[in-house]
Amino acid sequence: MRRISTDMPNRDMQFYLRRQEEGLANIQAKIAGQTRIHELRDDPLAASHAVRYASYLSRLERFEKNTLYARDHLNQTDAYLRQANDVMQRIREIAVQGANGTYAEEDMGYMAVEVNELLKELVAVSNALGPDGRQIFAGDKAFTEPFRMVEGTIQGGRETMVVGVEYRGAGASRKTEVTDGTYVTLDMGGGEAFWAEKMQIFSGVDASEYRVTKPGAFYVDGEEITLNPGDTLQAIVAKINESAAPVKAYVDPETRGLSLEGTNPHLIRMEDSQDSRVLQDLGIILANADPGAPNWNPTARVSGGSVFDMVLRLRDSLFRGDVDFIGSQGVGGMDLALNNLQSRLAEIGSRGERAEMTWRRLNEEIPQVTAALSREASLDFATAATDLGMLEFAHKAALQTAAKVLSPTLLDFLR
Classify residue 24 as exposed, middle or buried by CB count within 10 Å of its CB (0-12, 13-18, 19+). Answer: middle
Contact 223, 243 (CB under 8 A): yes
Distance, in Å, from the CA atom of 284 to the CA atom of 257, rounded to the nearest integer, reads 9
Report in angstroms the alpha-carbon separations of 213 from 227, 257, 386: 9, 18, 81
Q: What is the pLDDT along the chain (415 residues), one digit of tens a residue?
A: 455 555 666 676 667 667 766 666 666 666 666 666 655 565 666 666 767 878 888 999 999 999 999 999 999 999 999 999 999 999 999 999 999 888 888 899 999 999 999 999 999 999 998 888 888 898 777 788 889 999 888 877 777 888 999 888 776 678 888 888 888 888 888 889 999 999 999 999 999 999 999 999 999 988 999 999 999 999 999 999 999 999 999 999 989 999 999 999 999 988 898 888 899 999 999 876 555 556 888 899 999 999 999 999 999 999 999 999 999 999 999 999 999 999 999 999 999 999 999 999 999 989 888 887 666 665 655 666 676 667 676 767 766 776 666 666 656 555 5
What does the CA dihedral 392, 396, 397, 398 come to, rounded to 10 degrees? 100
Ordered by start, the domain boundaries in the chain are 53-195+305-365, 200-303
Whether domain 200-303 has CATH 3.30.420: the reply is no
Amino acid at 85: N
Q: Is 271 left (phi over 0), alpha (psi -120 to 50) or beta?
A: beta
Q: What is the pTM of this model?
A: 0.78
8-state DSSP, 266: B
> How does pLDDT run across 351-392, given as a tens digit for each residue?
999 999 999 999 998 988 888 766 666 565 566 667 666 767
Distance, in Å, from the CA atom of 200 to the CA atom of 250, rounded to the nearest integer, reads 11
The CATH number given to 53-195+305-365 is 1.20.1330.10
Intra-chain end-to-end CA distance of the chain, in Å: 27
In terms of DSSP H, where are the helices of 211-330? 233-242, 278-281, 307-320, 323-325
